[in-house]
Structure 1
Amino acid sequence: MADSGGSPAANFFEKLKAYVRTPKGTILAAEILISFIIIICYAASLYSGYSSVAVCEMVFAIIFMVVFTMELDKQFQIISWPWSDLIRAAIGALLYLITSIICLIGGGGDGARIAGGVFGLLAGVLFGYDSYTIYMQIKSGGHTAAPTDEGV
């Protein structure tokens, strides 16, 4: 095999920097960042149980970032990546909105919980926007379907 001229880690970070400059990469990076901020807010709160939504959504966003950065979506075509990403973003938006409203309503006297709720509302809007852009991409036919064995 031909050497690409650098270590695998350096190659990954070059691909990551290039992917973050794309619109989808920017949205995923923003989702990871705002989820991390929410984790910090909820960890400083008296009720840290709300951080589970932020942890799960951050992990899923990181997984999709790695998959799209390394172009694994083109190698593993058994999974419909656009639909999986749409479901991830839509569920994330819904969960962030629900938990944020709960935190804002019952967060009297706990500033970190209220801050987490405000950032959670912003995350809900961001995940909702991501869902919308993914839906518009799927609707316009900007994805490829997984191959089937029918009709040879």
Structure 2
Amino acid sequence: MTIPVETLIDGLARTLTDAVLPDVTSRFARGQLFAVVDVLRNLRDRLEVKAALYETEAASAAAALERAAAALGREAAAARIAEALAAAPAGPPAERTAALRAALVAALEAIDALPEELAAPARAAIAEHLAAQTMREVAVLKPSLLGEISKG
């Protein structure tokens, strides 16, 4: 699940002001904290997720949907998957990705109604995409500061 950048930044600013600020006693540290909150609030509406991340996810999702539909052959579920794939807009990347995510959900719902021996190859195609997408999302994360956090 992807959380919108705006929601993440709002949560960060709220956490800093509601949970952290009350325990900051130094005037200098409070000033620094307010400066960080100010920067976050001003960046909120200026940040945009890199289009390349959406494009990569969309290409992978489209390929997975194509493989799932092909695995189902002449089943009605294959036609529903192909229709959902065809309905996804060509762009912009964020909108295409959102439509393909919805198509993946629709595909899984269609596949779920099928006998397991027929559904397994189609489900596997989607599962491969989801696993690869999880790894792509983890790959862009920065190293954790948990060690420093635990030191206080």
Question: Which category of TM-score, normalised to the shorter sequence, fits these structures?
Answer: 0.3 to 0.5
Q: TM-score, normalised by structure 2?
A: 0.38
Higher share in helix: 2
Higher relative CO (Cα under 8 Å, sequence separation at least 6) belongs to 1
Rg bigger for which structure?
Answer: 2
